[in-house]
Structure 1
Amino acid sequence: MKFRPLHDRVLIESLESEEKTAGGIIIPDTAKEKPQEGKVIAVGPGAKSEDGKAIPMDVEVGDRVLFGKWSGTEVKVDGKEYSIMKESDIMGVVGK
């Protein structure tokens, strides 16, 4: 993939939610909620402070992250759907 986010933006591939509930009920696509967990595919170089110094990113490519339900913008890159959002929209990294 030849896509590099700018500044403090992150490209995320959403991880699909479970298709069945714990009780075994199959959830149809129309009833599924938008995923809130994803894998970081690409990160920008980081934001710049007021004096021009780079602020390093806290997330790295490959991290599993949690983000807000309506965070980011959906984009298509190389025919695949991703979300692009600012690092501040990410709530946390799941495991390391």
Structure 2
Amino acid sequence: MTTALKTIKSLAPLLDRVLVQRIKADAKTAGGIFLPDSAVKELNEAKVLAVGPGMMNKEGKRIAMGVSPGDKVLIPQYGGSPIKVGEEEYSLFRDHDILAKINE
């Protein structure tokens, strides 16, 4: 199930949720050959666009998020909540579902 929005800026993640957009794989080989869409594999890398404020622990203190907007992360192949805005696709994941942060 996907949710349709007019603009991605109208979406603010709550609690420990992270809004990401998958990074598209190159459709061109190193030798300059263009690949058809069916041959291009979807990457597990994504860019973090927005994060929620974090969950509350039992004492009522907010648990800091592991990622911040602009980070490049590794996400699971499946899962998350898909969101479609126009032709662009985004996903919402929980902070603990993010596999790793990619430091460049």
TM bucket normalised to smaller: 0.7 to 0.9
* Gaps in structure 1 of 5+ consecutive residues: none
Equivalent in the alignment of 1:34: 42
Equivalent in the alignment of 2:17: 9
Residue in structure 2 matching 1:45, options 49, 53, 62: 53
TM-score, reference length from structure 1:
0.83
Letter of the structure 1 residue corresponding to residue 24 of structure 2: E
Deviation at 1:49, TM superposition (A): 1.2
Equivalent in the alignment of 1:60: 68
Matched-pair identity in %: 43
Deviation at 1:35, TM superposition (A): 2.3
- CA distances 1:15-56 after superposition (whole Å, capped 9, x unpaired): 101223456654321233332001100000001112322101
Structure 1 runs of 4+ off > 3 angstroms?
20-27
Q: Which has a greater percent of strand?
A: 1
Q: Is the partner of 1:81 in helix, strand or coil?
A: strand
Residue-pair matches, total: 95
Deviation at 1:3, TM superposition (A): 1.5
Equivalent in the alignment of 1:71: 79
